[in-house]
Amino acid sequence: MAAEIVNPQGELDEDAIDPAFALHRGGKMAVRATVPVKDADDLSLAYTPGVAKVCSAIAEDPELVYDYTWKSQVVAVVTDGSAVLGLGDIGPEASLPVMEGKAILFKQFGGVDAVPIALDTKDTDEIVDTVVRLAPSFGGVNLEDISAPRCFEIERRLQEKLDIPIFHDDQHGTAVVTLAALRNAALLSGRSLGELRAVISGSGAAGVAIAKILTEAGIGDVAVCDRKGVVSSERTDLTEVKREVAGFTNKAGLSGSLESALAGADVFIGVSGGTVPEGAVSRLAPGAFVFAMANPTPEIHPDVARRYAAVVATGRSDYPNQINNVLAFPGIFAGALQVRASRITEGMKLAAAEALAAVVSDELSAEKVIPSPFDERVAPAVTAAVAAAARAEGVARR
């Protein structure tokens, strides 16, 4: 019995019960040296007196920090623990295993080093000030699991203050992968994005970013829904962010519930949780696409969605077409760091989505509109596309 498995202190040994605890024991990452320090000569070069020459050179030309330190290849993964996975506001300590996980995904899938930083504050000013003070050590900042609407302001203010890429993955990573999958679903069905009307369930970080990138990419129309229904300029209860969303979405002038908005829609995108009734799904247009991405329980069960949709995607790894951010953020940062970009632009995100979609464009099927995270073609394709877009948009330093 589990209760009989104890450690030498007589306490329940979780490692022996659950392999997740065993894997996380001691943390999932460490710092290692990239140069030897085996003798006095090594020490004199890696540290004093040799290091003084490098420090003096950087003091005279600050751009040399990219050549002679880790800055050109390392990202800070920053959270306040306020919106962690499906767990919600669990605090900075409890968020740290997720941030470590994010850091090892950066390395595994993009060759980018990353450092998890969990901040013990939810105050927007304090988060911004702290990250600004930490920024000299990093080539970019990945904001992670920070609740909306604060995440929008934090990202905006940091990018205004810093000349390194600031990227909120919950927003933009999700949006890039969603656009890539939708491009391929449209291609598979012989349609263009401009012919599609999409409905997004969820007006948080991911929902807003998806609406923006679909609009930039030329979607025919997109409506965003929150708990009260369609986000429309006619409503008087909208936040500043939702008012902005209402200004560039919902060309059809829809109002009312999510269920009513789905009638005749070509695309459902779920990033909110909850359940969409089968009756509402049945009213989607023929040949519709369902991207039900809530984890672990999709808004529409894939078995139900397949009765009415030509392509079904989820956020889960045990169903085809997983919309997984790891397809985007490692390559996006690798490309941005490669050219020392000062920011990640909308054009760079669109380029990432196009490159990601192209990886499987010759292998398309209803169960393969997006590559697997383990497809070794993904990161190089996204990296190259993002680096080229950065140069084209004038935000690259090299």
286/25 Cα distance (integer angstroms): 50
Does 6 have pLDDT greater than 60?
A: no
Q: Identify the active-site residue in 71, 102, 212, 349.
A: 102
Alpha helical stretches, state H, 86-231: 91-110, 124-134, 150-161, 169-188, 205-217
- Give tens-digit pLDDT for 184-239: 999 999 999 999 999 999 999 999 999 999 999 999 999 999 999 999 999 999 99
Cβ atoms of 118 and 79 closer than 8 Å: yes
Whether 38 is catalytic: no
Name the binding residues.
Answer: 144-145, 170, 295, 324
56-65, 112-121, 130-139, 270-279: range with lowest mean pLDDT: 270-279
- Give tens-digit pLDDT for 233-266: 999 999 999 999 999 999 999 999 999 999 999 9
Mean model confidence pLDDT for the chain: 94
Name the binding residues for (S)-malate.
Answer: 295, 324
What tokens does 233 get? 């300029």
Residue 59: per-residue pLDDT: 98
Cβ atoms of 84 and 147 closer than 8 Å: no
Domains of the chain, first to last: 1-30 (no CATH), 34-60 (no CATH), 61-164 (3.40.50.10380), 172-314 (3.40.50.720)
Whether 66 is catalytic: no
For residue 353, what is the enclosing H or E element? helix 346-359
Residue 16: per-residue pLDDT: 60
Strands (E), the chain: 74-79, 113-118, 140-143, 166-168, 197-201, 221-226, 229-230, 267-270, 288-292, 309-314
